[in-house]
Structure formats: C-alpha cells, structure tokens
Amino acid sequence: MKEPNILILGVGNYLMGDEGLGVHVARALQDEQLPEGVDVLDGGTAGFQLMEYLEKYPIVIMIDATLDKNTVGTIRLIEPKFSQDFPKAMSTHEIGLKDLVESLALLGKLPKIYLYVMTVQDIANLHVGLSQFVEEQLPQLKRLILNKVDDLLPAVLV
C-alpha cells in the first residue's frame, strides 16, 4: 500500500456562515471518489492539532475563506512559504495555524502548501450554512482542487 501523499484540508468555522467554506468543501469532497493517496480532512477550527497531518503529507491543499478587498466569490491560489504569505483575515485561527506553519518551517518540516481562498462577505451573522452566492461557487472551487490533484499526483506517486 502506498503512503498517503496529498491531503486536502478544509479549515474554517461552520458556525459562521461563509467562514465555514473550507469545512463545506472538505465534506463535499469526502463524498467523491478520489485517487489513491489522496485524503480529505475537515480541519474545522483547529490549529496546533493539525500538526500531525501537516507533517505526514508532503503536499497539502488547504481551503479557507478570506475577507479581503476582492470581489466576493474571487478564488485565489496562494503558495505560502511563510506565515506572512497567508491572507491576514484568514479564518478565526488566531493561534495555531500560522504559528504552526512558521514552526514547521523552522523545524524544516513544512509540506508544500497550496492554499485556495475564496473571498467572502462580512461574516457578522452567525449561522450554519453558506450564502447562496458562495454555495454557487462551490462546484468551480471543487473543480479547481480536483484539477490540481490531477496535476500533482504523477509527481508524488513516483
């Protein structure tokens, strides 16, 4: 059996509407037939607890919502190497995720990260579930992720 190679990691808080985007994407992808060596994890609001996963996989495709000045629904792919490469208003991981990335870099154990972020609107209202507009963008985001997996797989399966 092959070691797992790619982790698709959705993060965010699903109690906060569109902020839970990553979790919704992870859950949707868990229902798909994915190639061998590709795992999906709903990372929720965790920070440091994700360390074992970030160490285990050479490639991590991360998904999160972000608040920025782009048009709502804008999907961007970021390849962060340091914590400051992450969008500032990314999720509610005040402690954990960014510090974890930085510490892993210092330990020389940082995986290659591809971060898909989608711009969402103000998340002031707490509720469960995505707004209709963001929900409509999900298939496109899923397609981008799956295409990325297809691109990356040959390299990591060698």
Partner 1 sequence: MSQRIVVDPITRIEGHLRIEAEIKDGKIEEAYSSGTMVRLIEEILRGRDPRDAWAFVGRVCGVCTSVHSTASVRAVEDALGIIIPPNAEMVRNLMFCAQNIQDHVVHFYHLHALDWVDVVSALKADPKKTSEIAQSISNWPKSSPGYFSDLQKRLTKFVESGQLGIFANGYWGHPAYKLPPEVNLIGVAHYLEALEWQKEIVKVHTIFGGKNPHPNYLVGGMACSISLDDASGINAERLSYVLTVLKQAKEFVEQVYVPDLLAIAPYYLDWGAIGGGLGNYLVYGDLSTTSYREPKNFKFPAGAILNKDLSKIHEVDLRSDNEVQEFISHSWYEYAGGDGVGLHPWKGETKLNYTGPKPPFEHLNVDEKYSFLKTPRWKGHAMEVGPLARVLVGYASGRTDYKEVVDSVLKKLNIPATALISTLGRTAARGVEALLVAQWSLEFYDQLITNIKNGDTRMASTEKFQPDTWPKQAMGVGHNEAPRGALAHWIVIEDQKIANYQLVVPSTWNASPRDKEGKSSAYEAALKDTPIADPNQPLEILRTVHSFDPCLACAVHLYDEEGKHISKVKVL
Q: Interface residues with partner 1 (CB under 8 A)? A: 13-16, 19, 42-52, 55, 67, 82-84, 88-89, 92-96, 98-100, 102-103, 105-108, 123-128
Q: Which is nearer to partner 1, 58 or 146 (CB)?
A: 58
Q: Which is nearer to partner 1, 100 or 152 (CB)?
A: 100
CB of 66 to partner 1, least distance (A): 10
Q: Which is nearer to partner 1, 15 or 155 (CB)?
A: 15
CB of 58 to partner 1, least distance (A): 17
Q: Which is nearer to partner 1, 65 or 152 (CB)?
A: 65
DSSP string, the chain: -PPP-EEEEEES-TTBGGGGHHHHHHHHHHTS---TTEEEEEEET-SGGGHHHHHH-SEEEEEEEE-SSSPTT-EEEE--SSGGGS-TTBTT-SSSHHHHHHHHHHTT-PPEEEEEEEE-----S-BSS--HHHHHHHHHHHHHHHHHHHHHHHHHH-
CB of 148 to partner 1, least distance (A): 23
